[in-house]
Chains A and B, each alone.
Chain A
Amino acid sequence: MSRQEHPPGGPAVTQTGQDDIRPVRVYRYKRGDGGERFDEFEVPVGPHTTVLDALRFIQRHHDPSLAIRHSCMHASCGTCGVQVNGREQLACVCSVRDQGEEITVEPLANLPVLTDLVVEMSGFFARFPHEHPIIRSSGSPTDGENAEVHLEGDHEVTLELAGPLHHHPLHNDHRAAPPAVDFVRFEDCIECGLCLSACPVAATSHDYVGPAALAAAERLLEEPRGVEREDVLAWAGRPEGVWRCHVGFECTRACPADAIPAERIMALRRELTFGGPDDKERKR
């Protein structure tokens, strides 16, 4: 089997035709190993090489003992959060070339380090409100280019149902468009912990529940799914809750999934201050 022929993450295409080799500094820690240190490794870089590609290259060609978290490789699972040059990133979508000549990779902050770049996530999940379903309503997909639908009344269609589908079965009348369907989707938050790592308050206030958990609570005001509004507000208004936030918006800046935690924290404060939607209407 050939050795790595391409830079990780894609084929070898560089403008000069020369290999683009870059140094990557990586935080190291093994329990009982006498402290932490940084190791530096050389990694070939192509136009699409991500920090995760670089770390996996290091594992494969330099040091198999390097421990990292990763799973989906496309910013959906939320496992590969790290700090790259001091900024929270999902390693799988963080381009090496966008980071400048020098790259330093460290574990997320505000969570205990288990080994190397791996943090313990149990403390992150322990902060969430007990009920926070991850399935929500979806509605129409974005950017409907073909929104103008012309029904073809003379189009011959036979419906031979082998049996009803398991949910929201369609009408059998072929002349009618199918009824509006209650599509569902996952919550935007991918539980990666980047917001908690970026939060300046969480760094000094260890019992603060933090942005992800508060954003999840605010989603329950938007779409309760069986949870009582008053319970959510009571939970969010506790001393460890929304009033600790210093409104730095670092969480929203760090969020790779557009879950806007800072805005949701502000929305919770507004609800706690002004009460229900009637009150909002009055103020407008």
Chain B
Amino acid sequence: MSTRYDAHVLIVGGGATGGGLAHDLALRGLRVTLLERGEVTSGTSGRHHGLLHSGARYAVGDREAGVECIRENMILKRIAPGTFECNDGLFVAVCDEDLEYLEPLVEGCTGAGIPVQRLNRAQALALEPNLNPELKAAVRVPDATVDPMRLILRFFATARHNGADIRPYMEVIGLLVHDGVVTGAMVRDHVTGKEGEVHADLVVNAAGPWSERVAAMAGAQVPMTPSPGVLLALHGRYCNMVINRMHKSGDGDIVVPQRGLSIVGTTSWVVEDPDDLSVPEDHVERMYAEGSKLIPALRHAERRAAWSAARPLVGAAGAATGRELSRTFQTFDHAEKDGIEGFVTITGGKSTTLRGMAELCADVVCRKLAIDEPCRTRENVLLPHTAYYSEAVAA
């Protein structure tokens, strides 16, 4: 650890974004407090299907996102060993129409630096015998799977070890604003039921789909369109690799194994309130229908759970399904945007790129605080997820 700084950064939101940022800033020697209204990763971050993207899903339409994913995929496998099922992924063509996506996919992956290998039907079935036996072709890419919470806990654990104060069950109920400067937050502690204030030199809004609501507490604007998707968990592990449909992103285009379960995802629509998430039964039925095109046995697999998660998409309201909005992230310095000092929002993005997002946001934070420290998160191997609990005792 290098220099310790007095500068105190308050992060609002205990998901992937906040966890990555707390770790990055703590490694740079800043004082960090992170507040989360519930358990860490209780919002969107803990609820995804468990895919560590290779970038192949984005390589055709958005090469930049593909490059970003493969870079972060390789960094995360290095800094969080033992947290991923590194079984690769397949993109599977189950009809002639899917084959039209084959060449663009291979070309896109190659262009983005994503290792890719073509497989014929027999090769694909030898790897994954439960695949649709009528499949036309497959492409193998370095997708992996992850327990979303356990990966993010490693960031929180390491941040705690480096001095960050990670506070779940501490809800931000208002921001302290004096003369156009955000100086901290009003909080309600759900452990004691008491209210209080936390003061800071800079507040970072990392509240995911709740970012618009947190920004509004300071009178700032962050246009968010929370976009839920339904995911379906089925009893039985029908594959070891991540199975993707070989066509452009759509409903029910992925099956991800998790322990003794198979997860089918997902749909996409938009809501105004990220707490208002239903699980429409027709979406569940669509997961069964689309998932079983990839793995026919899923048709009769027993339902373990169906749930919704709200993607934190950045963009104006009015979008129809959310698929037309960007999956990349944005950092807003509200001094430039709204004339409010001491307040930064980072939002959007996806779990695979959480470290990279944090690096860019931490650069903005350090610049604003006139601190010159490099990012060290590419090399720093994270503590195991269980250290989140033992570091809490030590703290």
Contacts of B236 in A (CB 8 A): 142-143
Tell me whether A146 and B133 are in contact (CB under 8 A): yes
Q: Say yes or no for B281: interface residue by CB 8 A criterion.
A: yes
Tell me whether B261 and A74 are in contact (CB under 8 A): yes
Contacts of A79 in B (CB 8 A): 39, 42, 46, 149
Tell me whether B133 and A71 are in contact (CB under 8 A): no
Tell me whether B123 and A170 are in contact (CB under 8 A): yes
Q: Given A134-B82, A145-B130, A188-B260, answer yes or no on A162-B149 (Cβ-Cβ < 8 Å).
A: no
Q: Which residue of A lies closest to B125 (CB)?
A: A149
Q: Say yes or no for B307: interface residue by CB 8 A criterion.
A: yes
Choice from B190, B263, B390 contacting A67 with Cβ under 8 Å: B190
Tell me whether A146 and B142 are in contact (CB under 8 A): no
| Interface segment out of the listed B19-27, B110-118, B217-225, B330-338 | B110-118
Q: Which residue of A lies closest to B43 (CB)?
A: A71
Choice from B74, B116, B259 contacting A166 with Cβ under 8 Å: B74
Tell me whether A122 and B389 are in contact (CB under 8 A): yes
Q: Which of A146, A149, A177 has the most CB of B within 10 A?
A: A146
Q: Using a CB-CB cutoff of 8 Å, which residues 160-192 of chain A contact chain B?
A: 160-167, 170, 174, 177-178, 181, 183-188, 190-191
Contacts of A184 in B (CB 8 A): 85-87
Q: Which residue of A lies closest to B275 (CB)?
A: A60
Tell me whether B115 and A161 are in contact (CB under 8 A): yes
| Interface segment out of the listed B174-182, B237-245, B352-360, B368-376 | B237-245
Contacts of A191 in B (CB 8 A): 386
Q: Interface range on chain A: under 10, 10 to 19, 20 to 34, or 35 or more? A: 35 or more
Least Cβ distance of A170 to chain B in Å? Answer: 6
Tell me whether B117 and A161 are in contact (CB under 8 A): yes
Q: Say yes or no for B381: interface residue by CB 8 A criterion.
A: no
Q: Say yes or no for A72: interface residue by CB 8 A criterion.
A: yes
Decide if the interface of chain A is mainly helix, strand, loop or mixed. Answer: loop
Rounded to whole angstroms, the CA-CA distance of A134 and B304 in the bound complex is 22
| Interface segment out of the listed A29-37, A243-251, A272-280 | A29-37
Rounded to whole angstroms, the CA-CA distance of A190 and B46 in the bound complex is 14
Rounded to whole angstroms, the CA-CA distance of A201 and B87 in the bound complex is 40
Rounded to whole angstroms, the CA-CA distance of A160 and B103 in the bound complex is 11
Contacts of B278 in A (CB 8 A): 5-6, 8, 10-11
Contacts of A69 in B (CB 8 A): 38-39, 42
Q: Which residue of B lies closest to A182 (CB)?
A: B87
Tell me whether B88 and A167 are in contact (CB under 8 A): yes
Q: Say yes or no for B92: interface residue by CB 8 A criterion.
A: no
Contacts of B131 in A (CB 8 A): 146
Q: Say yes or no for A125: interface residue by CB 8 A criterion.
A: yes
Q: Say yes or no for A234: interface residue by CB 8 A criterion.
A: no
| Interface segment out of the listed A19-27, A150-158, A262-270 | A150-158
Tell me whether A74 and B279 are in contact (CB under 8 A): no
Tell me whether B279 and A48 are in contact (CB under 8 A): yes
Q: Say yes or no for A138: interface residue by CB 8 A criterion.
A: yes
Contacts of A181 in B (CB 8 A): 87, 127, 240
Q: Say yes or no for B47: interface residue by CB 8 A criterion.
A: yes
Q: Say yes or no for A14: interface residue by CB 8 A criterion.
A: no
Least Cβ distance of A134 to chain B in Å? Answer: 7
Q: Which residue of B lies closest to A49 (CB)?
A: B279
Q: Say yes or no for B169: interface residue by CB 8 A criterion.
A: yes
Q: Using a CB-CB cutoff of 8 Å, which residues 92-139 of chain B contact chain A?
A: 106, 109-110, 113-123, 125-131, 133
Rounded to whole angstroms, the CA-CA distance of A42 and B136 in the bound complex is 53
Q: Can you give 26 contacting A-B residue pairs, CB < 8 Å? A: A4-B276, A30-B192, A48-B279, A67-B169, A69-B42, A71-B41, A72-B46, A72-B147, A74-B231, A76-B258, A77-B147, A79-B42, A93-B304, A93-B305, A115-B190, A116-B190, A118-B169, A135-B85, A138-B85, A152-B121, A158-B118, A162-B109, A165-B88, A165-B115, A183-B241, A188-B260
Q: Which residues of A contact B (CB under 8 A)?
A: 1-2, 4-6, 8-11, 13, 30-33, 48, 50, 60, 64-65, 67-77, 79, 92-93, 114-116, 118, 121-122, 124-126, 128, 133-135, 138, 140-147, 149-152, 155, 157-167, 170, 174, 177-178, 181, 183-188, 190-191, 257-258
6 closest pairs, A vs B, by CB? Answer: A71-B46, A73-B307, A74-B305, A177-B126, A183-B240, A74-B233
